[in-house]
């Protein structure tokens, strides 16, 4: 492993920053303290700071040399509405809020790279350090773009990184093309005609309609979608009724759809709507169908992915980089950035959880789990990747 030596010496400070952020988690668009910490550190290191995009977003600007080239590096800052089960010293001090996805580590790794790049400036161009709020369902990336991120900070490519539990620490994973799925939500209200449960012939039972719709929907992926496509249609909530002897007026179905392509998503949404409406009509009921597209599929660009692989291999060696990592049906709003700019999103292994200090919860060290904790061993590794990426993308002549 060929890490950037000064970052190893800086590891203790990065760990202190990371654990401070972990102890003070803030939810989407509430990251005021976090953005204050980020901005203060950047300013302390002589890095110009721009604030206010998407409310709590921070962008640092580091110039090296005099070329007009520029790239962006992005880290997310927000926490999750999770009650932490860990009891170690840096556990969350805010009930019901927790860095259960490692955004504290992502922020610290980019700060580490910022410190080194500002000190050494061994590159010819401009680096934009994008500290983004509200990745966890708030579409902070989209809002930063809508408020002028790429106009104010013109860049030729943008890169992101996420820790990945289950992958060994000291390894990376990436793939060109679709790497994370689109995230979408649906809500269907079946409206029937309530009646006494002992006299069902006098009503229109929305529960039975909902059951028929739910079963028919499961044929969409199996029988309408091309078998080589991958998709998930999960009904996660069913709500109906309040008494054992009453057929209710309404029944509700709620859930999520995940796809790797927009075409598959278009087909699934269309068929869901058709099946719901026609099934309800067949039983004399009606439906209100709502389908919300949250995040698009995250699709890595081929050239930028190949380049990111070179930078990763320069740090950990070719045998520690999986260039065909299994895609995940999880979603990530960095996808919006990749719709506007060429770029790449990579996974950095977080290990199996044996790094957690005494006092951790009994659950697994998985993302969005109340016993999760970011692996501080990754701090110099991830920061080194960012540094090498910049130096290789914009080398000095």
Structural domain tally of the chain?
A: 2
Q: For residues 335 and 328, what is the distance between their CA atoms, to the nearest angstrom?
A: 13
* pLDDT per residue as tens digits for the range 63-88: 999 999 999 999 999 999 999 999 99
The pLDDT tens digits for 288-341 are 999 999 999 999 999 999 999 999 999 999 999 999 999 999 999 999 999 999
In terms of domains, do 173 and 59 share one?
A: yes
Per DSSP, what are the bridge partners of residue 286? Answer: 191
Q: What is the mean pLDDT of residues 242-249?
A: 98
Q: How far is it, in rounded angstroms, from Cα 315 to Cα 320?
A: 9
pLDDT at 365: 97
- Considering the domain architecture, whether residues 188 and 238 belong to the same structural domain is answered as yes
Average pLDDT, stretch 347-360? 94
> Residue 25's domain is classified under what CATH number?
3.40.630.10
Q: Based on the domain organization, do 74 and 162 belong to the same domain?
A: yes
Distance CA 122, CA 386 (A): 13
One domain for residues 388 and 342: yes
- Same domain membership, residue 281 and residue 304: no
pLDDT for the residue 263: 96
Rounding to the nearest 10 degrees, give the CA dihedral for residues 41, 45, 51, 53: -90
If asked whether residues 192 and 275 sit together in one domain, one would say: yes
Same domain, 309 and 287: no
Nearest to 169, CA basis, from 383, 376, 356, 384: 376
Does 334 share its domain with 253? Answer: no
44 shares its domain with 10: yes
For residue range 124-150, what is the model confidence (pLDDT) as tens digits? 999 999 999 999 999 999 999 999 999
How much is the pLDDT for 80?
98
Phi-psi region of 39 (alpha: psi -120 to 50; beta: other; left: phi over 0): alpha
- Do 189 and 122 lie in one domain? The reply is no
* Chosen domain end from 244, 278, 295: 295
Q: How many residues does the chain have?
A: 397
* Domain harbouring 216, CATH code: 3.30.70.360
Identify the pLDDT of residue 278: 98
Total Cβ atoms within 10 A of residue 237:
9
Which of 241, 275, 295 is the endpoint of a domain? 295
Distance between CA atoms of 234 and 94, rounded to whole angstroms? 32
Retrieve residue 155's tokens: 């860049």
- Residue 331: alpha-carbon gap to chain centroid: 5
Cα separation of 153 and 128, whole Å? 7
What is the rounded average pLDDT of the residues 208-218?
A: 98
- The arithmetic mean of pLDDT across residues 173-182, rounded, is 98
- As a 3-state breakdown, the chain gives helix, strand, coil percent values, each rounded to 5, of 35, 25, 40
Question: Same structural domain for residues 232 and 365?
Answer: no
Q: Which domain holds residue 84?
A: 5-180+298-393
Q: Looking at the predicted structure, is the pLDDT value of residue 397 above 90?
A: no
**Boundary-marking domain end, from 267, 295, 323:** 295
* Pair 172, 309 in one domain: yes
């Amino acid at each position: 492993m060929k890490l950037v030596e000064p970052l190893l010496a800086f590891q203790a400070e990065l760990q202190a920053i990371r654990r401070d952020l972990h102890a003070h988690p803030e939810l989407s668009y509430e990251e005021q303290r976090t953005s204050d910490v980020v901005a203060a550190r950047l300013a302390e290191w002589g890095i110009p700071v721009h604030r206010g995009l998407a409310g709590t977003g921070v962008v640092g600007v580091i110039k090296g040399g005099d070329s007009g080239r520029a790239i962006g590096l992005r880290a997310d800052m927000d926490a999750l509405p999770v009650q932490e089960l860990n009891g170690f010293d840096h556990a969350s001090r805010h009930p019901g809020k927790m860095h259960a996805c490692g955004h504290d580590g992502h922020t610290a790794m980019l700060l580490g790279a910022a410190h080194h790049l500002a000190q050494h400036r061994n590159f010819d161009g401009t680096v934009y350090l994008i500290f983004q709020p509200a990745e966890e369902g708030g579409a902070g990336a989209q809002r930063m773009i809508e408020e002028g991120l790429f106009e104010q900070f013109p860049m030729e490519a943008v890169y992101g990184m996420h820790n990945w539990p289950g992958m060994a620490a000291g390894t990376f994973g990436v793939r060109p093309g679709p790497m994370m799925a689109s995230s979408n939500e649906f809500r269907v209200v079946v409206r029937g005609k309530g009646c006494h449960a002992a006299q069902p012939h006098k009503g229109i039972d929305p529960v039975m309609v909902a059951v028929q719709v739910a079963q028919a929907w499961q044929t969409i992926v199996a029988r309408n979608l091309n078998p080589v496509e991958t998709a998930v249609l999960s009904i996660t909530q069913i709500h109906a009724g309040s008494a054992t002897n009453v057929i209710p007026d309404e029944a509700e179905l709620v859930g999520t759809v995940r796809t790797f392509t927009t075409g598959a998503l278009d087909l699934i949404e269309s068929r869901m709507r058709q099946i719901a409406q026609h099934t309800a009509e067949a039983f004399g009921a009606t439906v209100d169908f709502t389908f919300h597209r949250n995040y698009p599929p995250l699709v890595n660009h081929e050239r930028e992915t190949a380049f990111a692989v070179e930078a990763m291999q320069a740090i950990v060696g070719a045998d520690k980089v999986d260039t065909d990592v299994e895609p995940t049906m999880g979603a990530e709003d960095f996808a919006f950035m990749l719709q506007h700019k060429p770029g790449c999103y990579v996974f950095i292994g977080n290990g199996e959880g044996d790094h957690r200090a005494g006092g951790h919860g009994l659950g697994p060290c998985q993302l969005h789990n109340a016993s999760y904790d970011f692996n501080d061993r990754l701090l110099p590794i991830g920061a080194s990747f960012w540094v090498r990426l910049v130096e290789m993308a914009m080398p000095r002549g």
